[in-house]
Amino acid sequence: MSIEKDNNKDSLEELLIPINASDQEATSAILQEMHPADIAHLFESLHSGQREFIWPLIPTEFEGEILLHLNDELRAHLISRMDASELREAAEQLDTDDLADIIPEMPVNVTQELLLTMEAQDRDRLRSVLSYPEDTAGGLMDPDTIMVREDISLDVVLRYLRQRGKMPQGTDSLFVVNRETAYLGVLPLTQILTSPPATLVSEVMITNIDGILADTSAQDVANMFERRDLITAPVVDVNNHLLGRITIDDVVDVIRDTADHSFMSMAGLNEEEDMFAPVFRSTRRRSIWLGINLLTAFLASWVIGQFDNTIEQLVALAVLMPVVASMGGIAGSQTLTLMIRGMAVGLVSPGNARRLFFKEFWVGVWNGLIWAVVIAGVAGLWFNNVNLSIIIALAITINLIVAAIAGATIPIALQKIGADPALAGTVVLTTITDVVGFFTFLGLAALFLV
């Protein structure tokens, strides 16, 4: 990972030298030697002025793949500035499954022209992919798939492949179907090359790789690839008819997007947001998240305000309040993160959610008791007040138990109402632990210390 980061940094520095010198010839020469995916990665690292400088210098044959690898916001911006002929030329360079990723963002007139110029078979394949949501197996699949029958020999398969001349990119296996194109199994290329030519396909094909239903979620597809160590997998409809294939490169994209989404959502950000977007656009988007957090902060402050007389009489309460809230927040975040990850990889289901809830509840109980003793001891030595030690011990225990309960239930509850647990979970959890922590600590203090 560090080597990759160093290479990216070196490439960026190498590219910035001619860009900053406004040297078009040197910049163009560097771009010619780079892979389109690397250009897209570095393009996102440039500010708007530098992007304007290098875009006309990018080889035309790279434009389609570069658009494919850019984040959604930046890709939409570039598409809006490209004329129809540029967009058509860029789109024509892409495979059907890749084209399906960006064609919904293109102007309607360009899309129509593309469909008219495509061969009937390619047009049908594209429409097949577009008929499924992009976050499903059908949306991920490449419909350009080589199918063979089980009752032919490997010699016939080899002659067919030679006659075909070109295989879809990333092909490591052929898919075996019957006369009605129902999926039967997989025929690895290694078997074709190493088995006697007279061998029938049915004798060497692999039948224990199940087809993936087209409406399966992309995350479930990624989990299947991870569990079964798949490189390629067939996609089928409800009648088991072969529709296409998913390859490992598609799954890597899903894994990366899911990780980015989970990480960025916890800060209220979109993983497809342009890092170098204009200041006011970024400000507007982040203000929404800050506004939501402000409301929750006011709620916690209101709870504190109900005990202002108590705090005035015992300053130690103000000193120790952040400890109670912080411990609850961290404990709750641990459970929340565990639950969100478990839900993402399919480890949490209605069948085991109850057991997991009670496990996290008892973790909260034991952590509450352990740290209540530690914090009570520190508070007692610090302020020389036994009653204060008991109060904060009770508050810590209660808040850590509540935090565990909240962390275990919030993601499931949010998912049931259609909200994103990664996006909203942290805000809800923090509000609960702050309010419960402050209310418990100050309420007990008001009852027994003042």
Domain 2-133 has CATH 1.25.60.10: yes
Residues with Cβ within 8 Å of 342's Cβ and at least 6 positions away in sequence, in order, are: 348, 356
**Which residues have C-beta within 8 Å of that of residue 80, sequence separation ≥ 6?**
none
Residue range 128-170, pLDDT digits in tens: 888 888 889 999 898 888 999 999 999 999 999 999 888 888 8
By three-state DSSP, how is residue 184 classified? Answer: strand
CB 152 within 8 A of CB 158: no
SS3 44: coil
Identify the CA nearest to 149 among candidates 121, 107, 98, 183: 183
Q: Which residues of the chain have pLDDT under 70?
A: 1-10, 260-279, 282, 285-287, 289-290, 345, 450
Rg value, the chain, Cα: 29
d(CA 82, CA 35): 21
Quick check: 32 and 17 in contact, CB under 8 A? no
Instruction: Return the pLDDT at 266.
Output: 58
Contact 446, 310 (CB under 8 A): yes
Amino acid at 307: F
Q: How far apart are CA 303 and CA 440, in angstroms?
A: 10
- Sign of the dihedral defined by the CA atoms of residues 374, 379, 384, 389, in that order: negative
Task: Give the global pTM.
Answer: 0.66
Q: What is the Cα–Cα distance from 80 to 64, expressed in whole angstroms?
A: 14
3-state per-residue secondary structure call for 228-278:
HCCCEEEEECCCCEEEEEEEHHHHHHHHHHHHHHHHHHCCCCCCCCCCCCC
- The per-residue pLDDT for 156 is 93
* Residues 278-308: tens digit of each pLDDT: 667 767 766 676 677 778 778 877 888 888 7
Residue 422, helix vs strand vs coil: helix
pLDDT given at position 312? 73
Q: How far, CA to CA in Å, does 226 sit from each of 43, 138, 169, 268, 304? A: 31, 19, 21, 28, 48
Q: What is the DSSP string of 122-153?
A: HHHHHHHHHTS-TTBHHHH-B----EEETTSB
* Tokens 């904060």 sit on residue: 392
279-448 CATH choice from 1.10.357.20, 1.10.8.60, 3.40.50.300, 3.40.50.2300: 1.10.357.20
Q: What span, in angstroms and rounded, lies between the C-alpha atoms of 381 and 197?
A: 85
Helix or strand run (H / E) with residue 190: helix 189-194
Whether the CB-CB separation of 132 and 139 falls below 8 Å is answered with yes
Tokens of 42: 């570095």
In angstroms, rounded to a whole number, what is the distance separating the alpha carbons of residues 344 and 165? 41
Lookup: tokens for 298: 């006011």
Predicted local confidence at residue 345, as pLDDT: 67
Name the 3-class secondary structure at 77. Answer: helix
Q: Report pLDDT for 205.
A: 94
Fold of 147-265: CBS-domain (3.10.580)
Q: Where are the chain's structural domains?
A: 2-133, 147-265, 279-448
- Element at 213 (helix H, strand E): strand 212-213
